[in-house]
Amino acid sequence: MRIMQIAAGAVLLAGAERAQGQAQPKAAPPPAPAAAAPAAVSVRITAPQQNAVVTGTSVHVVLAARGIEIAPAAAQKPGTAHHHLLLDADVTAPDVAIPAGVKGIYHLGKGQTEFTLDSVAPGPHRLIAVLGDPNHVPLKPMVADTVRFTVKP
């Protein structure tokens, strides 16, 4: 009888070990190293500064872009962009080329990072810088910066 009890205990113990082994999931393999994320693309209007007061009717604009090469639009070089300035104008739809010949919209299609706005009326103004591809379509997602400034005569 004692042998049967020992044998029965061994069967129960073996069954419990199997059940325990099934209840505990195997350790997951370590995650694969993440691919390096590309540098974020950004644009910044460095002049005029936010809430600046500009004296005179000429406003010198300085732009800085990160994470993308600024190139002339005519080069049609993939992976590049050029600046567009919108003075007191709204941004167009993201899938549409930024229009040319519209008051308040300036294409810096030669790859310029500085531009002087002439004959700016006295008063408050909003300036938006938008990065566009060689076809003047805003980058996706849209990359833009906005500053507000005031012109004093």
Q: What confidence tens digit (pLDDT) does each residue in 85-115 have? A: 999 999 989 899 999 999 999 999 999 999 9
The dihedral built from the CA positions of residue 134, 138, 139 and 145, taken in this order, carries a sign that is positive
Distance CA 98, CA 121 (A): 23
Rg (CA), the chain: 32
Cis geometry, peptide bond prior to residue 122 (ω within 30 degrees of 0): no
Distance CA 153, CA 146 (A): 23
The reported pLDDT for the residue numbered 106 is: 98
Q: Which domains can be identified in the chain, with CATH numbers?
A: 42-152 (2.60.40.10)
- pLDDT band of residue 62 (cuts 50, 70, 90) is very high
The reported pLDDT for the residue numbered 94 is: 87
68: pLDDT strictly greater than 60: yes
- The 10 Å Cβ neighbour count of residue 77 is 13
User: pTM score, two decimals?
Assistant: 0.74
CB 13, CB 26: distance < 8 Å:
no
